[in-house]
Structures are given as structure tokens and as C-alpha cells.
Amino acid sequence: MSKNYVAIMAGGIGSRFWPKSRVAYPKQFIDILGVGKSLLQLTYDRFLENVPKERIFIVTNADYEAIVKQQLPDLEDHQILKEPLRRNTAPCIAYVSSKIYSIDPQANLVVAPSDHLVMNTPEFTRIINKALNHVSKSNDLLTLGIVPTRPDTGYGYIQYDEADETEGFYSVKTFTEKPDLELAKQFISSGDFLWNSGIFIWNVKAILGAFNKHLHDVYEVFHEGMDVYNTPKEQEFINQAYTMCTNISIDYGVMEKADSVRVIPSDFGWSDLGTWQSLYEQYPKDYLDNAVSGKQVMIVDAKECMVMVPNEKLVVLQGLEGYCVVDTGDTLLICQRDQEQAIKQYTAEIKKLKDGEKFL
């Protein structure tokens, strides 16, 4: 227990959740589920079942430091790692792994996103503890694969070898980025593919060794900081280090190439809550399958809609089927739920408008 740590990645901007998720206040900091806590707070609370608060670290963009401190007041300053630039997950993980290695070279580490949903916390806790126990005795790089329920094009996929299994840990054959629908259907019918949860468990020596071998430039950048981590010079070093890092994901940069990558097929009520569609699936619904957040919404012959509007605004919804209606005061989004993957394109176009940035 004393060598187990958790790193929560909380630096993204959640662009597919626009207009609710904004650059200045992205979705991990929002009570998107209407439960009185943000997704970050829910993630933090969940991991308190695995490790004490002193061994939970948040990696976020420097712009969000004040929000993290406000939402997680129990954290000490050194537990909030401030990225000066967005460089994807590989530099983020290299940084936090190096910092924790400087604290304890024998540390075991869970790395997880801040904005995912887990419905079955006891099962999640059990699997994380099982994984931490495993990596404390091996150099395997573990990831959690979610047993798929449908051919979803919004998730990455992990193919595993059913014949190569030890105590519920399977060797990984391939990682595949978000496939088209036909390929996703083939993956599901084959029976040996899992959704990629983006949750990783390893000991820090093993992951830094994999960085050294497969993403050496990034390894070198953060290895040079071993003498300054957890000192007043850390932030100055990191501000410079990130300018030398390539923008690359941990999957593409390390996991697809590394040896001893294993996956745990898992089922704990998971969703990455990456889109309005995924939120719709989790939200309570009325008898016409409308998911509604807002106290003054009148539904007239509308069904299967995702509606999120301010409590003080009266909204009358008539005749729509399968739409997203999201009102944030200064912005109104009305789009078909099955077209919501295009929201990233919309925000790119809005960016080009005069004064468009203020709506992002």
C-alpha cells in the first residue's frame, strides 16, 4: 500500500462537449451528471479507496491550477503538476512518472483520465488493487480494457490473446484507434477486442524503461530533472522541458511498441463521457427517452433528445427526435445526436469567426 500512487490527468479541454465544456472551464471541472460533484472530484473520491490523499497527484494545465485547488482543497501544492503546454498523454505520463520515481524508485502507479464515469466503484477498486499487486511483482505494463456492449466508433480498441493469460491478465496483440463502423462490428463479432479505457497501471521503473527504449527523446527531457523534482526549481524546469517535447499519445509512443503489455478485461459500468451521446446513455430519461437537465423544460411530441439548459430558462421542445439541445446562456447548440462527432469541426470553424474565441 505504501508504494502505490495515483496520477489523474486533468488537462484536456473536452472539445466534443462544447458548448458546456469551454477552454477556460472544461468538462472535468463541471458537474455534468448533476450529482453535486465535478467529474474530477468523483474520480479523486474513487481513488481514495485505493490510496491515501497524500499519494494522489493531478496533472493539469497551468491555467487550471486555481480550479483544481478550489475543487480538491485537501491537495498540497506539490501534488498539482502544472503543464505549460498541451503535449498529449506521453509527456504528461513521463513527467509524473519521473517525479514520483524521484520520491520512490519502487513506486507503483495508476494513471487515469479525470473525466470518465464508473458506475460500480467496488468492482473498480477491486480491479485496481489487483493490478497494483501484480505490477509490484512484475514489469508488465497493464491497461484496463472494457468489455464492449456495442460496435462504438468513438472508442479505441485493444485486441488480446485469449491463449496467453495469467491470473486474469492477457497479453495484448494490437491497439487500434477509433475505427469506422464496419471495422468496429468486426471487432465485436470476433470476441477478442476490448474498448481502450485509457487507464494504466505499472511500476515507475518499468514505464520509464519503456520510455527510454521507445520514446527516448521524451525520456531524456524528463530524466534531466531528477535533481529538481519536488524542489522550488521544478516548475521552471518543466516550463522549459515541455517546449522540447513532441505531441504524442502514450498508446502510439510507447504502448504499441513495448514488451510485456497486458490487459485486464473489465466491467465496472464505464463510460469515457466523451460526447453528448455518451452522456445521454447514462442520464435518467423520461417515458419518451428524453434526458433532461433543466427545471422548466416543456416537452411536446419530442423523444430521444438530450436537453441541458439553465434552470431559470423556460424551454419548449416540440417535434424533435434524437437531438441535442444545449443552452449555456451565450451559446445555443441544436444538433442531431448521431452527428455530434462533428462538434470538433464546428468549434474549429467558430475559432475563425471574428470574436469566435470568446464562445470557446
pLDDT in tens, 246-299: 999 999 999 999 989 999 999 999 988 888 888 998 899 999 999 999 999 999
**Separation in Å, CA 264 to CA 123, 157, 268, 329:** 13, 13, 12, 43
Chain segment 80-102, per-residue pLDDT in tens = 999 999 999 999 999 999 999 99
What architecture does CATH give domain 4-271?
A: Alpha-Beta Complex (3.90)
pLDDT classification of 162: cutoffs 50, 70, 90: confident
What pLDDT, on a 0 to 100 scale, did the predictor assign at position 177?
Answer: 84
The overall longest dimension of the chain from CA atoms, in Å, is 65
pLDDT classification of 128: cutoffs 50, 70, 90: very high
Calculate mean pLDDT across residues 158-186: 87
Closest CA to 89 of 114, 65, 108: 114
Our separate counts of H helices and E strands in the chain read 11, 17
- Cell numbers at residue 213, please? 527504449
For 131-180, the three-class secondary structure string (H helix, E strand, C coil) is: HHHHHCCCCCEEEEEECCCCCCCCCCEEEEEEEEEECCEEEEEEEECCCC
Identity of the residue numbered 37: K
Taking the C-alpha atoms of residue 228 and residue 235, their distance in angstroms, rounded to an integer, is: 9
Asked whether the beta carbons of 214 and 285 are under 8 A apart, the reply is: no
Closest CA to 286 of 314, 262, 306: 306
Taking the C-alpha atoms of residue 130 and residue 37, their distance in angstroms, rounded to an integer, is: 27
Residue 232 in this model has a pLDDT that exceeds 60: yes
Q: Convert 302-335 to b/e letters by CB count within 10 Å (16 or more is b).
A: bbebbbbbeeeeeeebeebebbbbbbbeeeebeb
Residue 341 in this model has a pLDDT that exceeds 80: no
Q: Is the pTM of this model over 0.85?
A: yes
Q: Of the ranges 106-110, 205-209, 268-272, 317-321, which one carries the lowest mean pLDDT score?
A: 268-272
- Of the two residues 281 and 55, the one the predictor is more confident about is 55
pLDDT classification of 151: cutoffs 50, 70, 90: confident
Calculate mean pLDDT across residues 117-133: 96
Please count the CA atoms within 13 angstroms of the CA of 3 that sit on its side-chain side: 18
Taking the C-alpha atoms of residue 140 and residue 228, their distance in angstroms, rounded to an integer, is: 28
Residue 42 in this model has a pLDDT that exceeds 60: yes
Helix or strand holding residue 141 (H, E): strand 141-146
Percent of the chain clearing pLDDT 90 (strictly above): 77
Taking the C-alpha atoms of residue 103 and residue 211, their distance in angstroms, rounded to an integer, is: 19
Closest CA to 70 of 95, 40, 50: 40
What pLDDT, on a 0 to 100 scale, did the predictor assign at position 220?
Answer: 96
What pLDDT, on a 0 to 100 scale, did the predictor assign at position 1?
Answer: 55
Q: Where are the alpha helices (DSSP H) in 110-233?
A: 121-135, 181-190, 204-214, 216-223
Q: Where are the domains of the chain?
A: 4-271, 276-359
